[in-house]
Each structure stands twice: as C-alpha cells, then as structure tokens.
Amino acid sequence: MRNIKLVFSFDGSKFSGWQKQKNKRSVQETLENTLEKITNEKIKVIGCGRTDSKVHSINYVANFKTNSKIPSENLKKAINSFLSPEVYIKKVKDIPLSFHSRYDALRKSYIYLISLSKCPFLNNYALFFEREIDIEKIIEGKEYIIGKHDFSAFKGEGSNNKNPVREIFKIDIKKKRFFLDRDVKLIEIEIEGDGFLYKMVRNIVGTLIYTGIGKIQPSDIKKIIEGKNRKFAGPTACASGLYLKKVVYPKIINSPLSSLKGKNKKINEYKR
C-alpha cells in the first residue's frame, strides 16, 4: 500500500467546490474518477480542506492510498493526460502512510484579489469593486485581526466547527497592476493562519473592504471580534476572488523514508 501526496492547481469557476456533491461537478470527484481509470481501483482522495464553489487554488494538497506500482513521475503524467484542463497536477510524491493532508496541515495561506477597474479577463477571477478604497484604513484595521481569537463573528452560516478559535499569523495588503492590462489596478490581500472557519477568509475580506470605504472604522474590528456576532461584521466577499495559495506541513513529511509514527499525532479538534 502506498500513500500518494498530490499538489495541484485548479480553476474553481468550473466547479461547485472541492467536496463531492450529488449532481454537481466537484474537484474531488473529478480526481477520483481519473485515478480510478488509471489504477483500476476504487480511490478516495482526501483534501486539505473544503473550498466553496468558484474558489480557486494555486497549490491545493490532497492524498490517496493505492496498491498501484506506477512510479510517481509516470503517475503525474498519466493523471494530467486524463484530467480536464481546469486541473493541473504539479507534484506527485510517495509519503508516509500516516500522512493526512487535512489533519497534518500546520498553516494555510489564501490570496484575495480585488479589481478596481472593470476587466473582462477577471470576471471569474477577482472581485470588481468600483468605489475608492482607502488602503491605509485597511492596513490599520487588519492589525486587530492578527493573533489568536474567537472568530465567531467571521464564521459563515452553516459552519459545523465546534471550536471557533483560530490564529492569524499575517495579513499582507498590496497594490498591483494586472499583468495583461497595466491600466487595471488590483488590491491583493494575503491571509495566513493555522486554520479557517467556513467562509472566514471571505468574511474578513468583506469587513476589510467596508473598513476601506468608511462603513466600519478600523478600531471597530476589535469590537466586532470581541462581540462574536456575525451580523456586525462586513459582508461575505464573492468566491471568485479567492485563491488557496499554500499549505504548510511538518518538515518530517518531506521525507518518504521517514515515519510519522509517534510524531505529529496530536490532531487539533478545530481542524476536524
């Protein structure tokens, strides 16, 4: 039995999210169907976390177990040859059997793109926001979010997470120009944390946007977090501007010859 780690990118605008759903196209089902054709086995692919419909990924991580003897590099070529063009496998690697792409993750980072100019090339890949945004107010406000807090105020309806406590390590705000059209101005928000509640990143972004346009004062964010009430935070930013950038794991996982037995076995309840 082998445990295979996959790192891949996907265009979320073509899917109803990562998780398999009845009568809807998902990334998970697309991958499983492809792997079953190649290995002639029933395959279950474990993902590093759920993504909403229309959310994209730059480096999503998943793993699956198989008895197939196809070498990793050949497996990568085979998967990409069968996959639809909306998904591309970047890395395929044998990993210890105990590795779990979701429970072993130490931290994740997301990028959110806001376009300040209407651009047809970004219709499915950024939030178009035509009002002027004060970046300095966003930078001031994001400082209240960094740290370990109860993020109930940013939890989406329908969340089944029992523990709303998360730690945000950093939030970076950058102004950019769209590489295809230098007239198009972008705001890039990168958020890194040890884990995220359902729609938490999009709710943080919506709150920061409201801060940038003056509907919420930067200092109000501290009160919003302490109040633990979703209705006082900003709106949920649209899914199309969100990208999973990176997932970080313990260094020991990088060696296929090492064993995770007795190490990294503590699974935080809030990651379930």
Q: Quick one: which H or E segment has residue 25? A: none
User: Residue 236: which of 135, 163, 127 has the closest Cα?
Assistant: 127
CB-CB contact of 173 with 138 (8 Å): yes
Read off the amino acid at residue 145: I
Query: For this structure, is 52 an active site residue?
Result: yes
Work out the mean pLDDT of the chain and round it to a whole number. Answer: 92
Q: What is the pLDDT of residue 233?
A: 97
Q: pLDDT, tens digit, for every residue of 202-234?
A: 999 999 999 999 999 999 999 999 999 999 999
Q: How many CB atoms are closer than 10 A to CB 210?
A: 21
Q: What is the pLDDT of residue 251?
A: 82
Query: Does domain 107-245 fall into CATH 2.30.30.90?
Result: no
Kindly state the tokens that stand for 74: 């050949």
Q: How confident is the model at residue 271 (pLDDT cuts 50, 70, 90)?
A: very low
Q: Say whether pLDDT at 268 is over 90.
A: no
Q: How confident is the model at residue 255 (pLDDT cuts 50, 70, 90)?
A: low
Q: pLDDT, tens digit, for every residue of 49-78?
A: 999 999 999 999 999 999 999 999 999 999
Q: What residues does each domain of the chain span?
A: 2-104, 107-245
Query: Where are the strands (E) in 129-272, listed by range?
Result: 147-150, 165-178, 181-193, 242-248
User: Residue 241: which of 196, 188, 200, 204 has the closest Cα?
Assistant: 188
Q: How confident is the model at residue 272 (pLDDT cuts 50, 70, 90)?
A: very low
Q: pLDDT, tens digit, for every residue of 80-118?
A: 999 999 999 999 999 999 999 999 999 999 999 999 999
Q: What is the pLDDT of residue 81?
A: 97
Q: How confident is the model at residue 254 (pLDDT cuts 50, 70, 90)?
A: low
Q: Say whether pLDDT at 124 is over 50.
A: yes
- Whole-model pTM: value is 0.90
Q: What is the pLDDT of residue 252?
A: 61
Helix (H, G, I), strand (E, B), or coil: what is residue 40? coil
DSSP 112-148: EEEESS--GGGTTTSEE--S---HHHHHHHHTTTSEE
Give residue for tokens 């998970």. Answer: 28
Give the pLDDT mean for 18-23. Answer: 92
Q: What is the pLDDT of residue 162?
A: 82
Q: How confident is the model at residue 262 (pLDDT cuts 50, 70, 90)?
A: very low
Q: 52, 104, 194, 220: which is the annotated catalytic residue?
A: 52
User: Residue 141: which of 208, 187, 202 has the closest Cα?
Assistant: 208
Q: What is the pLDDT of residue 263?
A: 42
Q: How confident is the model at residue 265 (pLDDT cuts 50, 70, 90)?
A: very low
Q: Which fold has domain 2-104?
A: Alpha-Beta Plaits (3.30.70)
Q: Say whether pLDDT at 193 is over 80.
A: yes
Per residue in 51-81, is it b (16+ CB within 10 Å) or e — as a string?
A: bbbbbbbbbbbbbbbbebebeeeebbebbbe
CB-CB contact of 236 with 206 (8 Å): yes
Residues 6+ apart with CB under 8 A from 48: 60, 61, 62, 101, 102, 105, 108, 244, 247
Domains 2-104 and 107-245 share a fold: yes
CA distance 214 to 153: 19
